[in-house]
Structure 1
Amino acid sequence: MDGAAVSAMVREAEQAFGSLDILVNNAGIQHVAPIEEFSDDKWEAIIRINLLAAFYAIKAALPGMKARKWGRIINTASVHALVASPFKSAYVSAKHGITGLTKTVALEAAQDGVTVNAIAPGYVWTPLVEKQIPDTMKARGMTEEQVKHDVLLAAQPTKEFVTVEELAALALFLCLDSAKQITGTTLPMDGGWTAQ
């Protein structure tokens, strides 16, 4: 991932569709390890994909949105944008960065008809979550079921994974004109995790 490639992607979308009115930054990767064992390459890759890609996409898309006086930017953060968990130093850092980026750009675009928000889901059953199970099993000496129940869903009081459909519904709501006064916020969808 590099800034030029992300900017080119935004330009291609604008040319293909005439404008880019809704931007959802949803790329993400994860790696789980104690910080003293965290490889520099993994750290940098997580920051590049989870934070820098969103920055470059917003930077490229925002001028057109401002010119049209309408736009919606939705950053997929994580509950880890609001709280931390062990062995996820890069991911937690990147997602906290997404929260700060969301607030800053919302203020910069507040009078231009553009809203900027983040959705902070708890654990959603996705390939990203599934892939971190073996590393967590190794780091904590646990079985797969123990990781799911005692690590992944331990902090979610509902003891259920958030669904992709639930996340999509919240993103769609944020795109409505009736949500135009919601900007600069990070909305948890975490089964009660951050209520504790």
Structure 2
Amino acid sequence: MTSIAVVTGAGSGIGRAIALGFAARGDTVVAADLDLDAATATASASKNIHPMAVDVADRTRVDALRDQVTSALGAPDVVVNAAGWDRTDKFLNATTEFAEKVVAINYLGPVHMCSAFLPAMVDAGGGRIVNVASDAGRVGSAGETIYAGAKGGVIALTKSIAREMARHSITANCVCPGPTDTPLFAAQSESLKEALVKAIPFRRLARPDEVAAPVLFFASDAASFITGQVLSVSGGLTMAG
């Protein structure tokens, strides 16, 4: 049985790999991104993908995405919150403007998306929420303190939604990538990138499709009795309990 999946951050990196993964198994996919051109480029890979614009930090624009999705395709079966943003720097250098942007995108983005789409999923009698957080949110990360805090919030949000939504046959799970070969990682300094790769037991970065795989699992029938769980995809860098 095919699903309708909404994926944020689908214009590049992990979000793009997730959108392509759903499309490859025959699902109808909404590739939502702040950059509509990037979302359109993702959609060019499959007739199953529909590009749509969204700023997850703006609840009004999230509601507009919801209305566009439900009008064109119906209520989604799956919502994947993969959009994210950060800039590595010392915590003491962080401005209020920077902190608010990190929290707005990385934490309030999933809050807005879940709040906007869950009512229709409840009415439909079930669904899947999969949030892409970060291992920074599980164990902390120097130079990413505010980002780590926001992603830690996403983990707690996921567990709490799982508890509230279980009665409606809606699962909520969380995938936590470690260092991954994405445009966001490429923007880091060479010294930081080299240090992170050396710290990974496999001595390489994750590929976006390797992070997409557990997202697809959590969204599948095979995970029908799994909710409130957090799975790290870090090549052994973080073996969190």
TM-score, with structure 2 as normaliser: 0.73
The 5 Å alignment of 1:35-114 reads 35-114=91-170
Q: How far is 1:154 from its partner?
A: 4.0
> Residue 18 in 1 paired to residue 74 in 2?
yes
The runs of 5 or more residues in structure 2 that have no matched partner are 1-56
Letter in 2 for 1:195: M
Q: Runs of at least 4 residues of structure 1 off by over 6 A?
A: none
Letter in 2 for 1:87: G
Q: How far is 1:186 from its partner?
A: 1.0
Contact kept in structure 2, 1:10 and 1:20, CA below 8 Å: no
Contact kept in structure 2, 1:85 and 1:92, CA below 8 Å: yes
Q: Per-residue displacement from partner, 1:138-168 (whole Å, max 9, x unpaired)? A: xxxxxx1x32221x22442112111111122
Letter in 2 for 1:174: F
2:206 aligned partner? 162
The runs of 5 or more residues in structure 1 that have no matched partner are 135-143
In 1, distance between residues paired with 2:98 and 2:132? 20
Letter in 2 for 1:31: R
Letter in 2 for 1:172: L
Structure 1 residues 155 and 82, CA gap change in structure 2 (3 angstroms):
farther
> Residue 32 in 1 paired to residue 88 in 2?
yes
Selected match of 2:225 from 152, 163, 181: 181
Q: How far is 1:91 from its partner?
A: 0.6
Q: How far is 1:188 from its partner?
A: 0.5
Selected match of 2:192 from 142, 147, 161: 147
What fraction of aligned residue pairs are identical, expressed as a percent?
Answer: 34
TM-score, with structure 1 as normaliser: 0.89
What is the RMSD computed on CA atoms of the aligned residues?
Answer: 1.3
Q: How far is 1:89 from its partner?
A: 1.3
In 2, distance between residues paired with 1:177 and 1:27? 24
Q: How far is 1:41 from its partner?
A: 1.1
Pick the structure with more strand per residue: 2
Highest RCO, 1 vs 2 (Cα 8 Å, sep ≥ 6): 1
> Residue 118 in 1 paired to residue 162 in 2?
no
In 1, distance between residues paired with 2:204 and 2:167? 39
Q: Per-residue displacement from partner, 1:110-151 (whole Å, max 9, x unpaired)? A: 1211110110011111011112x13xxxxxxxxx1x32221x
Number of positions where the alignment pairs a residue of Structure 1 with one of Structure 2 = 184
In structure 2, the residue corresponding to 1:193 is in which secondary structure?
Answer: coil
Structure 1 residues 154 and 40, CA gap change in structure 2 (3 angstroms):
farther
